[in-house]
Amino acid sequence: MRAVLVDAGGTNIGSVRYALQRLGADAELTSDAARIRAASHVILPGVGAAGPGMRMLREAGLVDVIRGLTQPVLGVCLGMQLLCERSEEGDTECLGVVPATVRRFADIPGFRVPHMGWNGLRLTRCHPLVAGVREGDAAYFVHSYAVPDGDYALAASEHGTSFAAVIAAGNFMGMQFHPERSGALGAQLLRNFLSL
């Protein structure tokens, strides 16, 4: 196994890399297209906004590289959102490998935006990525935009409305929460991904 972390400027890269090291995977941080294509597993981390995130991928020449990958690919937080077709955040065209549009949380009384904190997961589909996850297991979220719950959701969560917490479309997968900050649950999901 040779996992890589796509270096697209995400501020959570260090913590994701450390979480992988705790599982025995020393993922190389790279923006080199050849190394990304040759990897067994590709992780696209990200924190921030969709527009700047996509701009960094375009400037690094990685948009078509990521779109063409056939090995398991995992987007984390913003990285998951970038896998979708579009984001309402800045009306941004994203990678388009997951048939979804990322939407801003609606202003609902009693629900703050950004959504920050621990939320339980509701399993919606069987998939090796969510093996061993139990109904109600909690993950740590920090986000203002989310992928609506839909056919591609493996697990959903609630913040005024239901949204996709874990997604999969073919070899492209994503976690809206931060697995590196989600304790045993996050470690289990990363372990599941690395075993695909």
The pTM of this model reads 0.95
Give the mean model confidence (pLDDT) for residues 17-21: 91
pLDDT at position 124, please? 96
Q: In this predicted model, what pLDDT tens digit does every residue of 115-155 receive, in sequence order? A: 999 999 999 999 999 999 999 999 999 999 999 999 899 99
Q: In this predicted model, what pLDDT tens digit does every residue of 151-182 receive, in sequence order? A: 899 999 999 999 999 999 999 999 999 999 99
The single residue of 84, 143, 159, 180 carrying the catalytic annotation is 180
User: Is the pLDDT at 80 greater than 90, yes or no?
Assistant: yes
Q: How far apart are CA 157 and CA 52, in angstroms?
A: 26
pLDDT at position 11, please? 61
User: Is the pLDDT at 8 greater than 80, yes or no?
Assistant: no
pLDDT band (50, 70, 90) for residue 47: confident
Q: Write down all domains in the chain, each with its CATH number in brackets.
A: 3-194 (3.40.50.880)
pLDDT at position 177, please? 96
pLDDT band (50, 70, 90) for residue 48: confident
User: Is the pLDDT at 12 greater than 90, yes or no?
Assistant: no
DSSP state of 56: H
pLDDT at position 139, please? 98
pLDDT at position 14, please? 81
Is residue 178 part of the annotated active site? The answer reads yes
The two structure tokens encoding residue 143? 């986000």
Give the mean pLDDT of the chain. Answer: 95
User: Is the pLDDT at 10 greater than 70, yes or no?
Assistant: no
Is residue 88 part of the annotated active site? The answer reads no
pLDDT at position 100, please? 95
The single residue of 41, 77, 84, 115 carrying the catalytic annotation is 77
Is residue 28 part of the annotated active site? The answer reads no
pLDDT at position 41, please? 97
pLDDT band (50, 70, 90) for residue 1: confident
How far, CA to CA in Å, does 49 sit from each of 26, 136, 170? 27, 29, 25
Q: How far apart are CA 145 and CA 73, in angstroms?
A: 21
